[in-house]
Structure 1
């Protein structure tokens, strides 16, 4: 049994004293509220007007329940439930538990001063006064504990709800939802949109530790295929992000306006499929372009390199290597020969074969097609 309940019978307040104390409650409640306003900065201006009246009634009710306890009744359940809800409300209003505990301490002191003075004038002896004080402060401790529990529960619930909202916003972003949906989602999650977002893909085992290194507004989505997690980093300094993640299996996409981060996510996804060693997608742009439509690229190679189809495989391979080197070195025979480790006359001979097969090799259209077709080894 709590001290607040166990001490009720020991106080020895008679009915007349209890009645006198109840009559004092409106004045005491007003003094408590005023003292909280004066002494606890977080409540400055918060307890005036209609709110002040509501709080005065709540204080008067709490003190009334205390007098019920002192009179032998057990109404602590109602009082602690109200204190629990008060703690939740303070969390919703953005005030810390420290502020509420300070208000309880101030309130207990002021309430005790007023109630004790009235109890003494009603003839309560010193021994009973000590019991009365102990009972009051035990009661305030119970209310404080109930409020702390309510405050913590509200923060936990709000945190879980916000996490769900942030996760849904991340899903909407990488799904390419429209701007109206994204703005509504950001507002619901209490997330201030940045100028840009950069998509980063990581193994799920590395993602949360990596997130702690990045902007606190970074969004996270964990349940992607292959145990992959996406991070969407606001207004990223690309060089800094790359340095931070250099020792991780990360793929960093390009920065994009925040409502179009889906393109950064898609690029990071494609780059990750190309190579397990990819970190900076900007270093893989050629491969990304050539792999954007694998079938189209295969068709391009087949059409452009059709003249080599009837050659023996070894001959076709040598001619293809020579043509690629010729394009890369802009037809400079000695440089082509050096890159292939052959004599310049060999290059001259092979280029003669290639002109016989392909015809003109100098028109811009032909050079473009051959460059694309030979940009990647089959």
Structure 2
């Protein structure tokens, strides 16, 4: 793309068509460069750009650059479509919770990158400094025009949203929970916009209605608490440790909801802690945990670990059932109860007898049966650990016989013989 140096009068004749022809092959790469630089310089945009978010940003940049080049060749080219794109982009930015300063900064970055490319191409093609100066004025005026259109869209969306602040607060909560993690600068910028002091530690809480037809609604909560209660998995985020007073307030605000209180963790670990809280509520629904109004996840971490991979848990249970093949459900229930008590008591027959309310001789008789079934597994530390894991994943007690009678036949179907662990 080299050419002779033109004088000003010649430039004025050949500039429109020639510069447009020179710039068209550059459109795709300059658009990508603008998006990259915006994301690199402005923290709010430094996140994965898949989905509607990325499409909006890329569409706005591409239309702006393409229209500018088109207007060089044809000053009467319609701006209507580009204006509509940027008006919607302004609306989208408001709904995403970004500030006006952030939006205007993105346009400034876009103008700077586009002008840098035009200067490089213009010099390479031999245009004079006077023409390049005219182009600079035209580019800045054009970007100001689009920025003004986007600002109108932003203000329209804001005026049409009575709960704009609530929208930004929900957006802030989404940013904190994003994976991969959003840049801390983006979180702090949006937190400043909604006047939310960013804590070092926070407590996530998963919320679930007690009844399927119920909903947490839109309760009045402390302004320090971020909440998203309208989705499929309602949740709130409490700065710092959850105090007794604040817990009582949450229970009163959501009287028909169950709460799983996650551990208090650094802000960048909140997403994991909320995932554990949701898993805890699932275990409550399944009957693996008591159906309490409030469950503290911190007290259930071992159980959550055991249930972190249901397929793997099922494999451990099948191995346990396979060793007891041939027993009736009642016999299996009795043997598993004895085995659990024996492992808990570390093999002390008298303790096992006391726990099961049976004679010590009965314990010895059952243990001889278990020895015949389990062999060296009862004395190998790693095998005993596996047995404890499998037993803890079974719901023993009142529902054990029913649970085992339902699952054991399916578990044993086609199961190969289990070799002793050595």
Report the 3-state secondary structure (helix = DSSP H, G, I; strand = E; otherwise coil) of the residue aligned with 1:308: coil
Aligned mate of 1:368, from 382, 385, 388? 385
Partner Cα distance (1:363, 1:230) in 2: 44
Shift of 1:239: 4.8
Shift of 1:238: 4.8
Shift in CA distance, 245/158, structure 1 to aligned 2, threshold 3 Å: closer
Q: Does 1:219 align with 2:221?
A: no
Q: 1:298 matched to which residue of 2?
A: 314
Partner Cα distance (1:232, 1:353) in 2: 52
Shift of 1:217: 2.1
Aligned mate of 1:184, from 179, 183, 186? 186
Aligned mate of 2:172, from 160, 163, 169? 169
Aligned mate of 1:377, from 372, 385, 394? 394
Aligned mate of 1:336, from 325, 330, 352? 352
Shift in CA distance, 188/285, structure 1 to aligned 2, threshold 3 Å: closer
Partner Cα distance (1:297, 1:270) in 2: 15
Shift of 1:333: 1.0
Deviations 1:205-235 (A, max 9, x none): 55654x63x4x3221112221xx53111111
Partner Cα distance (1:368, 1:246) in 2: 39
Report the 3-state secondary structure (helix = DSSP H, G, I; strand = E; otherwise coil) of the residue aligned with 1:223: coil
Return 5+ residue gaps in structure 1 as ranges.
1-152
Q: Calculate the TM-score normalised by the size of structure 1.
A: 0.52
Q: 1:286 matched to which residue of 2?
A: 302
Return 5+ residue gaps in structure 2 as ranges.
1-155, 285-290, 396-422
Report the 3-state secondary structure (helix = DSSP H, G, I; strand = E; otherwise coil) of the residue aligned with 1:335: helix
Q: Does 1:234 align with 2:251?
A: no
Shift of 1:334: 1.6
Shift of 1:323: 0.5
Shift in CA distance, 372/239, structure 1 to aligned 2, threshold 3 Å: farther
Matches within 5 A, 1:2-81: none
Aligned mate of 1:314, from 327, 330, 333? 330
Q: 1:264 matched to which residue of 2?
A: 273
Partner Cα distance (2:298, 2:217) in 1: 21
Shift in CA distance, 325/246, structure 1 to aligned 2, threshold 3 Å: farther
Shift of 1:157: 8.2
- RMSD over aligned Cα, in angstroms? 3.0
Shift of 1:304: 3.6
Partner Cα distance (1:207, 1:199) in 2: 18
Deviations 1:229-258 (A, max 9, x none): 311111124555445446643221111111
Shift of 1:318: 1.5
Q: Which has the higher helix share?
A: 1
Contact 2:175-2:182 within 8 A present in 1 as well: no
Report the 3-state secondary structure (helix = DSSP H, G, I; strand = E; otherwise coil) of the residue aligned with 1:236: coil
Shift in CA distance, 238/366, structure 1 to aligned 2, threshold 3 Å: farther
Contact 1:322-1:340 within 8 A present in 2 as well: yes
Partner Cα distance (2:185, 2:161) in 1: 20
Shift of 1:351: 0.5
Deviations 1:331-375 (A, max 9, x none): 111221122222110100110111111112122101111111111
Shift of 1:305: 4.0
Shift of 1:284: 2.2
Partner Cα distance (1:273, 1:367) in 2: 28
Q: Calculate the TM-score normalised by the size of structure 2.
A: 0.47
Contact 1:256-1:263 within 8 A present in 2 as well: no
Contact 2:203-2:240 within 8 A present in 1 as well: yes
Report the 3-state secondary structure (helix = DSSP H, G, I; strand = E; otherwise coil) of the residue aligned with 1:359: helix
Shift in CA distance, 158/307, structure 1 to aligned 2, threshold 3 Å: closer
Partner Cα distance (2:328, 2:160) in 1: 72
Contact 1:242-1:279 within 8 A present in 2 as well: no
